[in-house]
Amino acid sequence: MNRTTLSLLAAVTALAAVTGFAVVSAPEGGTTEAAAGTATPARMPVERSSLLCPAPSTSEVAETAYTSFTPAGTGAADAKAGSAALVPTDATLAAPDDGKDKKKDKDAGKTAASKPVLSLKEPGKPVTAEANTAEAPALVGSADGRLAPGWAAQQTTKVTAGQGRGVLGVSCTAPDTSFWFPGASTADERQDYVHLTNPDDTAAVADVELYGKDGVLESDSGEGITVPARSSVPVLLSTLSADSAEDVSVHVTTRTGRVGAVVQAVDEEGGSDWLAAAAEASGSAVLPGVPADATSVRLVVFAPGDDDADLKVRLAGPTGSITPAGHETLHVKAGMTTAVDLKDVTKGEAGSLLLSPAAPGRPTPVVAALRVVRGKGAAQEVAYIPATGQVGERATAADNRAKGSVLSLTAPGAAAEVKVTASAGSEGGEAVVKTYKVKAGTTLALTEPPVPSGLKGSYALTVEPQSGGPVYASRALELPEDGVPMFTVQTMPDDRGTVAVPEAEQDLSVLDD
């Protein structure tokens, strides 16, 4: 084996270890630009992806829809057909432990429990499934071959009554070793759980740290939480500390293994939704897709480093960026959670919140999220918008209906041109492609995004920037019920469907003794 092969394999192994969910290799018998010695590494489709979905709800009236989708034309030309499936987390825990035919019974039990909740067979067309039960488990899954690049899954739950009323939507996430959740709470009126899901065959050990307005909330029970193999553990945040805090930033890390993590935020009066992890700490942040009719917007920011952060706050609306009156800047102390009520900051026009360093050249990394309320009193509903990464090459929102989807595109810097593809419907319909221009410093809110012609079922929206500056995106799904404006918002960062293959060069000296 020559040095080129060894170097490439080493790079791929390191990449898989870092990302935790993507594997890539060169086509058999082929070469890459990197192997040929070009300055720019070749980008190649990933060959395997992993996703995790939390247990939807314990409500007896919960109705959950799952959608799985891979964009068309994303895999390598010679990639195998592949498969993509999501199965219950307890699939390997369903075997009996006695009897002379133990092995045979164990295999039979595992096969039955491992039956996919939904299985994707081809790119470009979503598949769906439903679970209308309080016992619906968390799901783990993987995709390979031509179904791996850009594989996305959405879990949307509607609870029409009782505690947890609302629409709870979440994009199923890849496993990792660190997550930040600004915007959670341990207040008496909140019941917030962090769901930890382990996709692997060995146990993971996680730590959950909480930070309030005065710094870390002391806790012993948040350390060393064991998440058994291929299982999911919900942890009630208020049990981790005796302190009651309205605004909390949650940090989940693993000592061993990896997990998927997401916070289920339940307000006794304001509804409920999933709070997804914020983008990695950065000196700037974009929180896209604040609805035009938002009645309350609360910004929560945390500075995880040793330095305080001074941030400039702007709202990118349909015609340009403005500074919210009275909230021109925000000071965030190191290691402390800062929250500010921006009230009805959108004033009837959809927008995106932009955070940037108040002093040029002195960025301090922060993580951030928004708590957004629509409606008032008993008819209000809440959703969360974490800071997100840019779309990059491509991003997808998997679950869209004939009505109720709002796609928000934000260009915080230079103007951009964006291609939006509405996939074929899950039960019928042809894909539709449209191109939009987003002006610099604005948010384009598409209240009527592209819909497949002849749509039957649900469909996916895929965003691909074509030119110009960075683009950030989110998709809101509005499902009103009995006068309550129920909704959920999912951000759309790059799907990491391709990775750069590092440059490799031939060196036969590795064969010398």
In this predicted structure, the answer to whether residue 454 has a pLDDT above a threshold of 80 is yes
Residue type, 182: P
Tens digit of each residue's pLDDT (9 = 90 or more) over 286-312: 999 999 999 999 999 999 999 999 999
- What mean pLDDT do residues 88-95 have? 54
Residue 114: pLDDT band with limits 50, 70, 90:
confident
Mean pLDDT of the chain: 88
Contact 492, 397 (CB under 8 A): yes
Residue type, 151: W
How much is the pLDDT for 336? 98
- What mean pLDDT do residues 427-451 have? 98
As beta bridge partners, residue 208 has: 252
How much is the pLDDT for 199? 96
How much is the pLDDT for 332? 98
Residue 506: pLDDT band with limits 50, 70, 90:
low
Give the least confident one: 23-27, 216-220, 262-266, 456-460.
Answer: 23-27
Tokens linked to 395: 């991003």
Residue 39: pLDDT band with limits 50, 70, 90:
low
In this predicted structure, the answer to whether residue 100 has a pLDDT above a threshold of 60 is no
How much is the pTM? 0.87
Residue 28: pLDDT band with limits 50, 70, 90:
very low
How much is the pLDDT for 219? 87
Residue 9: pLDDT band with limits 50, 70, 90:
very low
How much is the pLDDT for 76? 54
For the chain, what are the domain ranges? 3-275
Residue 436 Cα distances to 366, 431, 432, 440, angstroms = 31, 17, 13, 13
How much is the pLDDT for 240? 97
Give the least confident one: 322-331, 432-441, 495-504.
Answer: 495-504
DSSP state of 114: T
What is the spatial distance between Cα 144 and Cα 190, in angstroms, rounded to a whole number? 39
In this predicted structure, the answer to whether residue 497 has a pLDDT above a threshold of 70 is yes
Tens digit of each residue's pLDDT (9 = 90 or more) over 333-392: 999 999 999 999 999 999 999 999 999 878 999 999 999 999 999 899 999 999 999 999
Give the least confident one: 129-138, 365-374, 381-390, 499-508.
Answer: 499-508
Tokens linked to 35: 């192997």
Tell me which residue of 170, 118, 142, 150 sits closest to 50, measured CA to CA. 142
Residue type, 468: G
Chain-centroid distance, C-alpha 238:
24
How much is the pLDDT for 360? 81
How much is the pLDDT for 78? 53
Residue type, 441: G
Contact 115, 48 (CB under 8 A): no
In this predicted structure, the answer to whether residue 5 has a pLDDT above a threshold of 80 is no
As beta bridge partners, residue 397 has: 461
DSSP state of 11: H
What is the spatial distance between Cα 160 and Cα 369, in angstroms, rounded to a whole number? 26
How much is the pLDDT for 19? 41
